Amino acid sequence: MTIPVELRRKYGLRAGVRVDVTDMKTGLLLKPVPNMKDLAGVDAGKYTHAEMVAKLDRQRRRWR
């Protein structure tokens, strides 16, 4: 598949980048899948340690 260079640059697409493909009524929707390393720290300062522990505890209870 060939994607025009302007769009590859705009959306950070390069060789080896994974994309999510969704079948839409109007055609295919391609979305780059972010690299997990790029997401490190995105929520820094958003939650306190106590809030995060409480959220994780609630999630663990639901899993059991």
pLDDT tens profile 19-30: 999 999 999 999
More confident residue, 50 or 1: 50
Domain assignment of residue 25, yes or no:
yes
Domain assignment of residue 20, yes or no:
yes
Domain assignment of residue 53, yes or no:
no
User: Is the confidence at residue 4, as pLDDT, over 90?
Assistant: yes
Domain assignment of residue 12, yes or no:
yes
pLDDT tens figures, 29-59: 999 888 888 888 888 888 899 999 999 999 9
Question: Rounded mean pLDDT of the chain?
Answer: 90
Among residues 23, 25, 5, which one has the least CA distance to residue 15?
A: 5
Domain assignment of residue 23, yes or no:
yes
The reported pTM is 0.51
- CA-to-CA distance for 42 and 35, rounded, in angstroms? 13
Instruction: Find the domain containing 24 and state its range.
Output: 1-34
Domain assignment of residue 8, yes or no:
yes
Domain assignment of residue 13, yes or no:
yes
Domain assignment of residue 28, yes or no:
yes
Q: What is the total count of domains within the chain? A: 1
User: Is the confidence at residue 16, as pLDDT, over 90?
Assistant: no
